[in-house]
Chains A and B, each alone.
Chain A
Amino acid sequence: MIETAGRTAGAVVPAIEVAHVSHAFGARKALDDVSLSVPQGAFVALLGLNGAGKTTLFSLLTRLYDNVTGRIAIMGSDLRRRPTEALGRLGVVFQARTLDPDLTVLQNFTYHASLHGLSRAEGRHRAERLLARFSLADRLNDKVRSLSGGQARRVEIARSLLHDPRVVILDEPTVGLDIAARQDIVSLVRRLVDEDGLSVLWATHLFDEVRPADPIVLLHKGRVLARGTTPDLCAQAGEPSLAGAFRKITGTPTEEAA
């Protein structure tokens, strides 16, 4: 779907570039001078507890809110100045379900395809191809309401790829799923990164979804407190595990950091 040749450009243009972004709701500061970068073809984990500012950051990345301070670029296109180019290359899986439960899987897909300017026939063709890959080909004409939580999530991820984005951002995609469905989703997305060279920003508060070599951005109370791989963070905190390092860096009690 996405040629791996795109990786050669990774050294030049990051898939996502967030530079010095702050955002406030009235007097409450949700993000404070946040900077992060997702290289092309990388799986970057945005690690943070509930209330860390992950969803606000996603709202800014998808231009639901405007980034007034700092700068956000998707595949080199500035989100404010060239929103069409930026959003056209971005796939999104929000934390809240965004499928229309009363419509069929196919109807949801063709609607999404049309929002990206694709014809119904093209949308259907791509939907069939993606769902076959996601082992959901037989659910094409089923109402979304009839899907299990894990299936609905897989459908949402498949839908986010419908317009062939180069970057996909996922906001806590495994929340509310059982362990088998969670592993299923994580390995699915990792396969997209490994096989297709897709760039992924994966927001989570679950440490077991992060592999040692994954670049991590640790977000806490609206600020980036640390960056690096699991060994980097462990070394920085002087702790043997990522969970321990997280607790030490953020200063959160044991029970809060799951």
Chain B
Amino acid sequence: MHGTIPPAAAEAPFRLPRFGYLHCFWGIQKREILRFLLQRGRFLSTLVRPLVWLFIFAAGFRSVLGVSIIPPYETYVLYEVYVTPGLCAMILLFAGMQSSLSMVYDREVGSMRILLTSPYPRWYLLASKLVAGTTIAVVQVYAYLAIAYWWEVEPPPIGYLVALPAVFLSGLMLGSIGLFVSSLIKQLENFASVMNFIIFPMFFTSSALYPLWRVKESSLLLYYICTLNPFTYTVELIRFGLHAKIDAPQSWADFVAMFTAMGKANALDPFAGDHPAFIALLVVVTTTALFMGLAILAYDPSRGLIGRRGGPEGAAS
């Protein structure tokens, strides 16, 4: 009854449909968009959060916290202007964790199983899902920027265009962290701890609310934590993007100089070189690759944690 299995005789070889990869990618995007349109409350809450920070927190802080002229700014800027890239990154951070939450939800309600029984490679399915979640987050960021414009946050028009890939890449990075986190969370209730242990520490130990030189003045330890936090680099990438100040090193020597400059300041400063935005870009791309790789490993049935640990509730019966 169950000896060795002979090759499939009289069976036409299996072929995936033409343009199947594209249809699969677009289908996943479409479902995320449909789900997003169904949850208008989610859109409003993600928009309200940074706006509250902008209208209330930033308004209160502008008199207390002076921001000196630091790149990419060429003049003194309002605190609202300073804090806007951080709030854009905050939207992406929440969206990334939200998609992580929806992955856990999908696992519990079973739609994740439908996704994972697709014949397409699992890395492709996960990457498609990541891009879908990020696209929606980018729309939210631009909705926020449109409202912030009426609040005197007026980056140069070209900045909106240059910031687009920066925002998208940052969204991918935070989404890939979320994807990895989703593979670690077994149940939906654990999301509260994600808030406490990921979102808040990431946001507060970054350059989102205060420039790094100010953090360094008050605590060198906190400063180092900030420089190790990948969220800092998404904030800076968006900041430089919004002011259309992203430039790459022109030569190999220039590239090396970027790194040697880091150690020349009195404390290690990743942004000390001539191309701080490029450093931010490097860190964001590397972190995305790292966490995407980890998420793919975690969701891979042969290596992943899911099968070993018992997977979704009830699946082991």
Whether chain B is bound by chain A comes out as yes
Q: List chain A positions with a Cβ less than 8 A from chain B.
A: 5-6, 8-9, 12-14, 17-20, 23, 25-26, 28, 30, 35-37, 50-51, 54-56, 59, 62-66, 68, 71, 73, 75-78, 80, 83-90, 92, 94, 96-100, 102-103, 107, 110-120, 122, 227
Please tell me if the beta carbons of B111 and A55 are within 8 angstroms of each other in the complex.
no
Write 11 A-B pairs (CB below 8 A) sorted by A numbering: A13-B9, A19-B2, A25-B309, A55-B316, A59-B307, A64-B116, A68-B302, A90-B117, A97-B109, A111-B27, A114-B23
Over the window 294-316 of chain B, the binary record of Cβ atoms lying under 8 Å from chain A Cβ atoms (1 yes, 0 no) is: 00000011111011111100111
State A100–B317 Cα separation when bound (angstroms).
23
Contacts A76-B5, A115-B115, A116-B17 given; indicate if A64 touches B316 (C-beta within 8 A). no
B310 touches A98 (CB 8 A): no
Complex CA–CA separation, A181 to B165 (angstroms): 52
B111 touches A88 (CB 8 A): no
Interface centre among A5, A64, A76, A117 (most CB of B within 10 A): A117
Shortest distance between the CB of B177 and any CB in chain A (Å): 24
Question: Inside 8 A of A107's CB, which chain B residues have their CB?
Answer: 31, 34
- Report A-chain residues with C-beta under 8 Å of the C-beta of B304: 66
Q: How far, in angstroms, from A9 to B9 measured CA to CA in the complex?
A: 6
Quick one: closest A residue to B309, CB to CB? A25
List chain B residues, Cβ under 8 A from A78: 5
Q: How far is the CA of A85 from the CA of B11 in the complex (A)?
A: 12
B173 adjacent to chain A (CB < 8 Å): no
Q: State A119–B26 Cα separation when bound (angstroms).
A: 9
The CA of A76 and the CA of B316, in the complex, are separated in Å by 26
Number of chain B interface residues as a range: 35 or more
Bits for B1-36, please: 1 = Cβ < 8 Å to A, else 0: 110011111110110110111011011101100110
Question: Within the complex, which residue of B23, B31, B116, B315 is in contact with A118, where a contact is CB–CB below 8 Å?
Answer: B23
Quick check: B114 and A115 within 8 Å, CB to CB? yes
Q: Give chain B nearest CB distance to A44 CB in angstroms.
A: 12
Given known pairs A9-B9, A19-B2, A55-B316, the reply for A62 and B20 (CB within 8 Å) is no
Q: Complex formed: what's the CA distance from A9 to B38 in Å? A: 47
Q: A94's contact among B1, B13, B28, B113, by CB below 8 Å, is which?
A: B113
Q: A84-B119, A99-B111 are known contacts; what are 16 more A-B pairs with Cβ within 8 Å?
A: A12-B9, A13-B11, A20-B2, A37-B1, A56-B315, A59-B315, A62-B113, A62-B116, A65-B311, A78-B5, A85-B13, A92-B117, A96-B113, A103-B31, A111-B30, A122-B17
- A58's nearest neighbour on chain B, judged by CB, is B315
Establish whether residues A98 and B306, one from each chain, have CB atoms under 8 Å apart when the complex forms: no
Least CB distance from B225 to A in Å reads 36
Q: Given A64-B117, A66-B307, does the pair A117, B23 have CB atoms closer than 8 Å?
A: yes
- CB–CB B314/A63 < 8 A: no
B11 to chain A, nearest CB (A): 6
Residues of A near B317 (CB, < 8 A) are 50-51, 54-56
Question: Are B20 and A118 touching (Cβ within 8 A)?
Answer: yes
Q: Are A114 and B28 in contact (CB under 8 A)?
A: yes
Interface centre among A5, A64, A100, by most chain B C-beta atoms within 10 angstroms, is: A64
Query: Quick one: which of B189-234 are within 8 Å of A by CB?
Result: none
